[in-house]
Amino acid sequence: MMTDFMHPALIMIIGALLLPLFRGPARKPYLVIVPLLSFINVMQLEAGTYGIIQFLDWHLIFGRVDRLSQVFGYIMTLMCIIGTIYGMHEDEDAQHIAAWLYVAGALGVIYCGDYITLFLFWELMAFASVFLVWFRRGPNSRATGYRYILVHTAGGLFLLAGFVLRYKVTGGDLSFGPIGVDSPQLYTYLIMIGFILNAAVPPFHAWLPDAYGEATVGGAVFMCAFTTKTAVYTLCRGFAGMDILIPLGVCMALYGVVYAVLENDTRRLLAYHIISQVGYMVAGVGIGTEMAINGTCAHAFAHILYKGLLFMGCGSVLYMTGKSKFSELGGLYKKMPLAFVFTLIGGLSISAFPLFSGFVSKSMIVAAGFHEHMLWPAFLLTLASAGTFLHTGLKVPYFIWFGKNNCSEETWEKAADPPWNMNVAMGAAAFLCIFIGCYTPYLFKMLPYPVHYEPYTAYHLSESLQILLFTALGFFLLIKKLAPEPTISIDMDWPYRMGGRAFLWLVKKPIQFVDNCVSEIYNLAGMRPLMIISRFWSWFDWHAIDGVVDGTARSVRNIGGVVRKVQSGQMQYNIFYGVTIAGVLIVAYMFS
């Protein structure tokens, strides 16, 4: 069953484990060859079910290949090539290992056919990607990484609880497919919560701008392309036509736009706009028609390219100048002309400008809404497009490369176009953004359903140009009001942090007070009933409360010790011990 099937994730896992063996002149070619082999492998896959493994009483399906999985597999391996070239100058092997294992997790989810395999790769994604945050070694990297992994662990637990409950209810069915949205049950919502947390649906979204803004320069390029789009794929596979996803998606589209306009950090702005753009995809899944699913897949495809391009452009500014805040940049068009051109192409693409990729993908979702007479969702998604052009198409290029020069003397001297490999990667992504917008059959032929859609109609062109031109007019009329300020926007992470403080207060004050009172009763009690009660409480307090608190504290200290060693340059490969075990298990399953 495995003789004619090589899983693209397996190529990435083996490539990651062998990377430390390649040194000197062989290293850079190897960095390109591994993701290129995975991409070629995806292109050669034929429709069917492969890699069926008997494990205990379960049939695990590692290779379910169809048109839906292929469009995501194609763009993800292509983006892996571009992202690896972009980060080729990075000498730390651990960063490339983390990125490739992360991609392997995403590909494993894309091609899986059962929930156990999905969960295995789902967790591999989370635990590999957190190192892309920690490896920046900034003042906030450690705390940001902890929050990231805690949130994703919680999402994984929702997913685990959902499919275990489904396994019980359905009498042992582990197949991953349409989940029956017409008559949802408890497990339906648990699984959906696990998926939409990775899709960054509010209020489960605060991890995204927090982590992506704090990740390494190359790591952010990978992170913006894989986690949310893998979640979109799972929603397409299991929840097409789930009505609740329509208002959630519309809220995402508008919510992300508002916070992006307020943001001062370039990469946090782009991260908020991931939330907005994924909102279109989530709404498309909720609409659930063939055109809407096609639009969702097309927009995910286009979004991976132009969002990766935008993160590469802003990341090159951070790499060369050490700055990522608008209030510390400006006037760099003379110093970084290539980065400006590439970032502008990404901004025009995400803004759905004619002849760019976003124009031919985003409009398909809106058209599907109008076709189903869902007027309010379609109009609100159209409104969100204006906000997209406002901050990503205009604010980002203007306040970095034009506008008032807020650069310090040191920043100005360091500013220059990035190394050649960064320019090659940005050039490839920019070319594809234009190519997709001009030659629509390239993308449309990959989509799951044979639905005809023509984006270049007179009505659509005139409508889009009016929105874009009036948005540009508003930007330049209100440019002083939109000038970036070094402020902090309070988002949904505020309840998380306040909840943590409340838990600490509860432990330190009331619970500790009761504990002290019971201890006094135990010491002073002369009556046997009181002795029994106090001894029981003492036992419960020692084994339950203190055991949990002390165990958690010890775990955090141990993890903290690992991270401190990572940040001091030690244990370059040992930090991947847990992730490597997961990778070895996957390899063992595939060859068994």
Q: Would you give the DSSP letter of residue 327?
A: G
Using pLDDT thresholds of 50, 70 and 90, give the confidence band for residue 523. low
| Average pLDDT over every residue of 76-103 | 95
Residue scoring higher pLDDT (571 or 150): 150
Which among 210, 314, 308, 214 is positioned nearest to 266, based on CA atoms? 314
The per-residue pLDDT for range 175-210, each reduced to its tens digit, is: 998 987 778 889 999 999 999 999 999 888 989 999
Average model confidence (pLDDT) for the chain?
85
Which among 100, 342, 316 is positioned nearest to 226, based on CA atoms? 100
* Whether 538 contacts 518, CB under 8 Å: yes
325 three-class SS: strand
Q: How far is CA 449 from CA 65, 70, 276, 295, 340, in A?
A: 15, 12, 25, 10, 37
571 three-class SS: coil
| DSSP helix, strand, coil percent of the chain (3-state; round to 5) | 75, 5, 25
* Whether 241 contacts 286, CB under 8 Å: yes
Residues 6+ apart with CB under 8 A from 455: 359, 360, 363, 364, 440
Tokens representing residue 562 in the block: 């690992």
Using pLDDT thresholds of 50, 70 and 90, give the confidence band for residue 366. very high
Least-confidence region, from 283-292, 335-344, 479-488, 565-574: 565-574
Which among 393, 201, 434 is positioned nearest to 310, based on CA atoms? 393
> Cα–Cα distance between 277 and 530 in angstroms, integer?
62
* Whether 273 contacts 263, CB under 8 Å: no
Which among 352, 356, 354, 360 is positioned nearest to 382, based on CA atoms? 352
pLDDT at 562: 39
pLDDT tops 50 at residue 567:
no
pTM of the predicted structure, to 2 decimals: 0.85
The per-residue pLDDT for range 417-461, each reduced to its tens digit, is: 899 999 999 999 999 999 999 999 999 999 999 888 999 999 889
Using pLDDT thresholds of 50, 70 and 90, give the confidence band for residue 528. low
pLDDT at 499: 75
pLDDT tops 80 at residue 235:
yes
Q: Please state, for a pLDDT cut of 90, what percent of the chain lies above it.
A: 58
pLDDT tops 60 at residue 526:
no
* Whether 108 contacts 117, CB under 8 Å: yes
Q: Would you give the DSSP letter of residue 61?
A: E
Report the alpha-carbon angle 327-328-333, nearest 5. Answer: 100
pLDDT at 557: 47
